[in-house]
Chain A
């Protein structure tokens, strides 16, 4: 599954990052790398973006970009 489908409150582990170039680089620069555990904290009031905890800090990611992050339950 992708990060977009992960439910709020769940912990997931990054399996693979799809995509290339700037988008992928930016996501990885922020610390979302293979094997990393992510906590899905909440969804914004209007349904997008979502807030996650990664490497001990909070990050807001758009659902469209979450589709590129393949995860599995941690």
Chain B
């Protein structure tokens, strides 16, 4: 028998994921629909290796206005699966059947599975399945995806249906004039298509669906010709074509419901209603929200999460992977550069990837629980008012909150946001929040140049939040972030106890996708930075700088003196890293940072090493400002080198060290995050161009912010730089224009390749 494909279609929150998991078990493939971030899942039906189940995105309709709907209907009309398994939430029959009335018009064998049968029975409601089957002209079965009852039978029915090829004949008829117009449209436009497909296309053309018009390649004359029919109906029924179709579908459903559904209790409060009364109560909602968020933060990012990360980083990554592998490789007698590459490059890189995993899993577990129980939708409801002004979703709150601990889980947490635009905006801006690893940088700058003033770290948070707000408002007005033209109308699903298997599966899927997709980037870039730091040319000899410096015939006293003279330090302070490729790069690029006040190679090199991990900035300062960072006195904030740092900043900025240091701090807080976070960005954007845009945007924004702070700072202390101030004013002018003058336009049409 030939292989068959069954598409699983249904509304969001109708139990589709649970059913998909029950049908396919562990044989799943998770990916993304081509070119978009909408998740695509396939799986083999348990016990049927020749049957593929395709999980479509959760949708309410087959309109052309949201990404998920376009993805789903393109799949249905172009791939034409052998059958559709339409899962319908029995506790919410009316709105769920609205999609069903559209699916049966596609001319594909359709099985309707009424889910949550256990809940319906508990409520005492009765659904007449035979009557429903008659009204829809397709088989109807009842299931409970969560309890697993009826799932096997439903699957067998769907397979049998797919093999039989019995297509439903749409029973629903619109009013006479509309049917007349549809019949006419069928005749003039889609006459060549197989008969069972004609009705769907004709209805879409009646709705003036531009995507279908384009797909069928209709000439302007034909469109004008059918336009007459459409307009006649619109005049007669006093409404636009799309609304006529929608209204009549719902009227039809209301009539079906009347005969198929008997509700036991009317107006009585369900448990979910009672929970919701408290949880989104006008007064209690915010305190409850704060408490839940505190709980999430505390478990994922607090002592427990930090312990997990520290343990994996220090013990698993540091001692076992890096040091253990080094001892092993050295015992094999491998040459030192190879040991370096394997241990410090690859093993440390792998350790860096794995280091995040336990904490991420904990966070994903919590997110999955919040999503599954229905509270996530309420978060969007509660926070919507604040966040939508900045082009973000109410659900962006969690990524931002988690981002204060670490940007990697912060970016990964954006997965819960449905709207692609909001998600992209969240990913682009989350790393502006100072994460835990940026704290040492702030501590270093505050300690070295500001006498440890507390306002420095406070200002860092304000700058982070300001960066999010300014970016949100500016980017929202660009074409790139136009997004879905549909408005924000969100279902608030009924609360229910989360299912253990769903929650664990979701946690694992997200964790695994981080390891797979983000891991490669993190690994690769760790190796590159390791190589740049370790290799260089000493006295005309290329090799590992540490080794070359140990050889007195290469690193002669004369040569060390020349290095000291070149870098302006005493010969005792010269260390191998001064000759690394990275130092060379730092020297070359240092002038780029001159307008920001730190056009000197040491801060430039520290900025580059900060890409590995932001706390590296401080330890690089330790090396470059000549301190043994392995010594016991060394601390996170690098206090032993504060005096040297201050002296250097004061000298290269002609006495304006504080302003330069503040600009340096701002640049490092806002610019491209560490490689791990970049990997997460790449993973979540699922698109190289978008990831590059996000990272590029952060760098440009950081540069602009540093420039403005330094130049305006100089001007206020009377050391005005004419070119610099013009540039700073130009930047401010542009930002002001984007914030206050440029108008915001909603997208008119959904653009999908």
Point out residues on A near B: beta carbons under 8 Å.
Answer: 17, 20-31, 33-34, 36, 42-49, 51, 55-62, 65
For chain B residues 374-397, which have a beta carbon within 8 Å of chain A?
Answer: 377, 380-386, 388
Nearest CB in chain A: distance from B44 CB, A: 33
Per a CB cutoff under 8 Å, which of B251, B282, B487 touches A27?
Answer: B487
Per a CB cutoff under 8 Å, which of B239, B247, B382 touches A44?
Answer: B382
**B240 & A46 in contact (Cβ 8 Å cutoff):** no
Nearest CB in chain A: distance from B225 CB, A: 23
Which A residue sits closest to B242, measured CB to CB?
A25
**Complex-state Cα separation, A59 to B95, whole angstroms:** 11
* Given known contacts A57-B491, A58-B491, A45 and B384 CB-to-CB distance under 8 angstroms: no
**A55 & B94 in contact (Cβ 8 Å cutoff):** yes
**B240 & A20 in contact (Cβ 8 Å cutoff):** yes
Per a CB cutoff under 8 Å, which of A29, A44, A56 touches B94?
Answer: A56
Given A47-B385, A48-B384: 16 more A-B contacts, CB < 8 Å: A20-B240, A26-B65, A30-B95, A31-B98, A33-B247, A44-B384, A44-B385, A45-B286, A46-B385, A51-B381, A51-B492, A56-B94, A58-B276, A58-B493, A59-B491, A60-B489
Interface pairs (16), CB distance under 8 Å = A21-B748, A26-B487, A26-B489, A27-B489, A36-B250, A44-B385, A46-B385, A46-B386, A49-B384, A51-B381, A57-B92, A57-B95, A58-B491, A58-B494, A60-B489, A60-B490
**A31 & B65 in contact (Cβ 8 Å cutoff):** no
Point out residues on B near A: beta carbons under 8 Å.
Answer: 60-61, 63, 65-66, 92-95, 98, 239-240, 242-243, 246-247, 250-251, 276, 280-283, 285-286, 377, 380-386, 388, 484-494, 748, 750
**B95 & A55 in contact (Cβ 8 Å cutoff):** yes
Which B residue sits closest to A55, measured CB to CB?
B94
**Complex-state Cα separation, A64 to B28, whole angstroms:** 42
**A46 & B489 in contact (Cβ 8 Å cutoff):** no
Which A residue sits closest to B491, measured CB to CB?
A59
**A29 & B282 in contact (Cβ 8 Å cutoff):** no
Nearest CB in chain B: distance from A36 CB, A: 8
* Given known contacts A22-B65, A45-B382, A29 and B246 CB-to-CB distance under 8 angstroms: yes
By DSSP majority rule, is chain A's interface helix, strand, loop, or mixed?
mixed
**A23 & B243 in contact (Cβ 8 Å cutoff):** no
**Complex-state Cα separation, A49 to B382, whole angstroms:** 8
**Complex-state Cα separation, A62 to B470, whole angstroms:** 23
**B282 & A33 in contact (Cβ 8 Å cutoff):** no
**B385 & A48 in contact (Cβ 8 Å cutoff):** yes
List residues of chain B with CB within 8 A of the CB of A47: 385
List residues of chain B with CB within 8 A of the CB of A60: 377, 380-381, 384, 488-492
* Given known contacts A17-B243, A45-B280, A48-B385, A31 and B487 CB-to-CB distance under 8 angstroms: no
Which B residue sits closest to A43, measured CB to CB?
B282
List residues of chain A with CB within 8 A of the CB of B489: 26-27, 30, 59-62, 65
* Given known contacts A21-B748, A58-B491, A60-B381, A29 and B98 CB-to-CB distance under 8 angstroms: yes
**A46 & B243 in contact (Cβ 8 Å cutoff):** no
**Complex-state Cα separation, A45 to B489, whole angstroms:** 17
* Given known contacts A17-B243, A49-B385, A29 and B491 CB-to-CB distance under 8 angstroms: no
List residues of chain B with CB within 8 A of the CB of A21: 485, 748
**A62 & B94 in contact (Cβ 8 Å cutoff):** no
Nearest CB in chain A: distance from B352 CB, A: 40
List residues of chain A with CB within 8 A of the CB of B247: 28, 33-34
**A30 & B60 in contact (Cβ 8 Å cutoff):** yes
List residues of chain A with CB within 8 A of the CB of B380: 60
**Complex-state Cα separation, A44 to B386, whole angstroms:** 11
* Given known contacts A30-B489, A51-B492, A24 and B385 CB-to-CB distance under 8 angstroms: no
**A24 & B282 in contact (Cβ 8 Å cutoff):** no
Nearest CB in chain B: distance from A29 CB, A: 4
Nearest CB in chain B: distance from A8 CB, A: 9
List residues of chain B with CB within 8 A of the CB of A55: 92, 94-95
**Complex-state Cα separation, A41 to B285, whole angstroms:** 15
List residues of chain A with CB within 8 A of the CB of B243: 17, 24-25, 28
**A62 & B488 in contact (Cβ 8 Å cutoff):** yes
**Complex-state Cα separation, A49 to B377, whole angstroms:** 12
**B280 & A25 in contact (Cβ 8 Å cutoff):** no
**Complex-state Cα separation, A10 to B66, whole angstroms:** 31
Nearest CB in chain A: distance from B126 CB, A: 15
Q: Please name the 4 residue pairs, one residue from A and one from B, whose CB atoms are nearest each other, closest first.
A: A22-B485, A58-B492, A29-B61, A26-B486
List residues of chain A with CB within 8 A of the CB of B493: 58
* Given known contacts A25-B65, A28-B247, A58-B492, A51 and B280 CB-to-CB distance under 8 angstroms: yes
List residues of chain B with CB within 8 A of the CB of A28: 242-243, 246-247, 250
List residues of chain B with CB within 8 A of the CB of A33: 246-247, 250-251
Nearest CB in chain A: distance from B190 CB, A: 22
Which B residue sits closest to A39, measured CB to CB?
B267
List residues of chain B with CB within 8 A of the CB of A61: 489
Per a CB cutoff under 8 Å, which of A31, A36, A42, A57 touches B282?
Answer: A42
List residues of chain A with CB within 8 A of the CB of B386: 46
**A29 & B286 in contact (Cβ 8 Å cutoff):** no
* Given known contacts A20-B240, A31-B95, A51-B381, A44 and B280 CB-to-CB distance under 8 angstroms: yes
**A65 & B382 in contact (Cβ 8 Å cutoff):** no
**Complex-state Cα separation, A28 to B285, whole angstroms:** 29
List residues of chain B with CB within 8 A of the CB of A26: 63, 65-66, 486-487, 489
**A56 & B92 in contact (Cβ 8 Å cutoff):** yes
List residues of chain B with CB within 8 A of the CB of A45: 280, 282-283, 285-286, 382
Nearest CB in chain B: distance from A56 CB, A: 6
Which A residue sits closest to B749, measured CB to CB?
A22
**Complex-state Cα separation, A23 to B749, whole angstroms:** 11
Per a CB cutoff under 8 Å, which of A25, A31, A51, A65 touches B250?
Answer: A31
**Complex-state Cα separation, A31 to B491, whole angstroms:** 11
Which B residue sits closest to A46, measured CB to CB?
B385
**B490 & A59 in contact (Cβ 8 Å cutoff):** yes
**A59 & B492 in contact (Cβ 8 Å cutoff):** yes
* Given known contacts A44-B384, A49-B384, A51-B492, A23 and B98 CB-to-CB distance under 8 angstroms: no
List residues of chain B with CB within 8 A of the CB of A62: 384, 388, 487-489
**Complex-state Cα separation, A61 to B93, whole angstroms:** 21
* Given known contacts A33-B246, A56-B92, A59-B491, A22 and B384 CB-to-CB distance under 8 angstroms: no
Nearest CB in chain B: distance from A55 CB, A: 4
List residues of chain A with CB within 8 A of the CB of B280: 42, 44-45, 51
Nearest CB in chain B: distance from A7 CB, A: 14
**B384 & A25 in contact (Cβ 8 Å cutoff):** no
Which B residue sits closest to A17, measured CB to CB?
B243
